[in-house]
Amino acid sequence: MPAFMEPFRIKAVEPIPFPTAGQRRTALAAAGYNLFRVPSRAITIDLLTDSGTNAMSAAQWAALISGDESYAGATSFENFQTVVRDLTGYDEVLPVHQGRAAERIVLGNLLGPGEVSISNTHFDTTRAAVEAAGATALDLPVEQTSPPSSFGGNIDLARLAERLNDDRVRCVVLTITNNAAGGQPVSIANVTSVRRLCDQYGVLLLLDAARFAENAYLISEREPEYAQRTPREIAQLVFTQADGCWASLKKDGIANIGGMIALRDPELARRCREQLIAFEGFPTYGGLAGRDLDALAQGLLEVTEPAYLEYRARSARWFGEQLEDAGLPVVQPTGCHAVYVDAARLLPHIEPHRLPATALANELYLAGAVRVSDLGTLVFGRAVPGEEDITAPRELVRFALPRRVYTKSHLEYVAEVAAAVAAKATQLNGYRITEQSASLRHFTAELMPL
Ligand code: F0G
């Protein structure tokens, strides 16, 4: 197979900072050893997230200029609605400023105290929205096997069927791709089985569709029945199976802000729209500028282009190989939006309570001003007053890939930094949390090295 290359050329460039080792040490200490608190001017390569960090195309920048900023009934909304309806098949389209606003509105409407939402894995903001409604978020991911399954993002159907007997279950949420489970895809076979179960028990099936196009592409690669279908056709097929979706469009909208709710049920949409007006804005802009809606409409067309998605998957795979060669234990197979590394395997001498994922992420920063995100106990663990934290099931570090931003040579630099860190793995120490909030603690926590 020929080497992959970026299927675009660069029209506008942005210089990147190169802080010295001393500046990196100072910046990390000043940030309370929390990479979320490090300013971007002290970062060389920022792989913290693929959310809102994308580079827009020339066509998207052009779309911004034609944005209609009318408060009500803007043409930009009509453009956005047309694209979303065509993609999802859902008639009711509500723009929101980002994914978590959609989650609060939809889940706040559906769930009440004591009720249950089941998912392949609720993303952290989704879980927070379920819990804010007084309900319980239950994750039933398939077990990770060795060798790994092609669809490690699936929900466990046997356990789902068991839990659906509980009449407190109000919805099943399939997160595509499953971000918390290594960015792995959910298969069409899994979605259609979940549909059947939801019909049997009269429960709504909703998609958290932040990375719907990447999920579709991975289906075309890994689910043989769909090898001949285009990513757009596959995405449409997946949407057909559900009752509605929400999405953070900061991912597969290939823009810097935005989100949506799209539903079949006009009555649920009506209730959501009331809250949209109260918290986000009038239903034809929902917390976004008209120009954002136009850029998103264009991004949602570009994101299913086969050449773009093939490059996206191949660059993640290639980058995973580079990190593996550098000595990091990479979670296989790689998906599209990120490469995940198992910090517990690299740092077996740091027990989960001492935050091995944080230790690895911080060392990558110190070694080369590379910022990645910690998906270990700092994020998914739970503080218990007077006791040790409940630790996360896995200690992963995520190297997220912003869309169309970094080239192969930027990623080669990251692999070099990773090799330097892997070489001194046995000397790394853990961390302890000194300050934390009750919910989503990782964004603001302060830590101390041990
Ligand atoms: N759902 C999934 C699967 C996500 O990955 C995210 C965000 C959200 C919902 C929330 O959307 O940020 O627009 O409010 N994920 C980002 C990440 C933050 O880094 O993975 P949002």
Spacing, Cα 141 to ligand 1 middle (Å):
18
Q: pLDDT, tens digit, for every residue of 401-428?
A: 999 999 999 999 999 999 999 999 999 9
Ligand 1 atom nearest the C-alpha of 50 is 19
Average pLDDT over every residue of 251-272? 98
Average pLDDT over every residue of 434-440? 87
What is the pLDDT at residue 148?
85
Q: What architecture does CATH give domain 21-50+305-449?
A: Alpha-Beta Complex (3.90)
Spacing, Cα 104 to ligand 1 middle (Å):
13
CB atoms within 10 A of CB 23: 14
The domains spanning 21-50+305-449 and 58-302 adopt the same CATH topology: no
**For the chain, which residues make up each domain, given as ranges?**
21-50+305-449, 58-302
List the catalytic residue out of 46, 50, 68, 124: 124
Q: Using pLDDT thresholds of 50, 70 and 90, give the confidence band for residue 387.
A: confident
CA angle 362/364/369 to nearest 5° reads: 95
Q: pLDDT, tens digit, for every residue of 183-195?
A: 999 999 999 999 9
410 noted as active-site residue: no
What is the pLDDT at residue 99?
98
Average pLDDT over every residue of 359-364? 98
Spacing, Cα 126 to ligand 1 middle (Å):
9
- 435/447 Cα distance (integer angstroms): 7
Q: Tell whether the model's pLDDT for residue 1 goes beyond 80.
A: no
Residue in the structure block whose two tokens are 């989704």: 126
List the CATH code of the domain at 58-302. 3.40.640.10
Best of 207, 212, 248 to mutate for ligand 1, by most ligand atoms within 8 A of CB? 248
List the catalytic residue out of 208, 252, 294, 342: 208
What is the pLDDT at residue 3?
77
What is the pLDDT at residue 177?
96
442 noted as active-site residue: yes
CB atoms within 10 A of CB 42: 18
123 noted as active-site residue: yes
What is the pLDDT at residue 2?
62
List the catalytic residue out of 97, 122, 250, 251: 251
Q: pLDDT, tens digit, for every residue of 220-237?
A: 999 999 999 999 999 999
Q: Which two tokens stand for residue 131?
A: 């819990």
Q: Using pLDDT thresholds of 50, 70 and 90, give the confidence band for residue 371.
A: very high
Q: Tell whether the model's pLDDT for residue 161 goes beyond 60.
A: yes
What is the pLDDT at residue 130?
98
- Which residues lie below 8 Å from residue 176, measured CB to CB, with a gap of 6+? 153, 185, 186, 207, 208, 209, 210, 211, 212, 215, 238
389 noted as active-site residue: no
Q: Tell whether the model's pLDDT for residue 432 goes beyond 60.
A: yes
Q: Tell whether the model's pLDDT for residue 6 goes beyond 90.
A: yes
- Ligand 1, residues at Cβ distance < 6 Å: 49, 51, 98-100, 123, 125-126, 175, 179, 208, 210, 248, 250, 259
Q: pLDDT, tens digit, for every residue of 45-65?
A: 999 999 999 999 999 999 999
ipTM of the complex in this document: 0.99
Q: Tell whether the model's pLDDT for residue 306 goes beyond 60.
A: yes
What is the pLDDT at residue 5?
92
Average pLDDT over every residue of 128-137? 96
Q: pLDDT, tens digit, for every residue of 87-132?
A: 999 999 999 999 999 999 999 999 999 999 999 999 989 999 999 9
CA angle 46/247/230 to nearest 5° reads: 90
Average pLDDT over every residue of 167-176? 98
What is the pLDDT at residue 232?
98
Q: pLDDT, tens digit, for every residue of 242-261?
A: 999 999 999 999 999 999 99
* Percentage of the chain exceeding pLDDT 70: 100
Phi, psi torsion values for 188, nearest 5 degrees: -65, -40
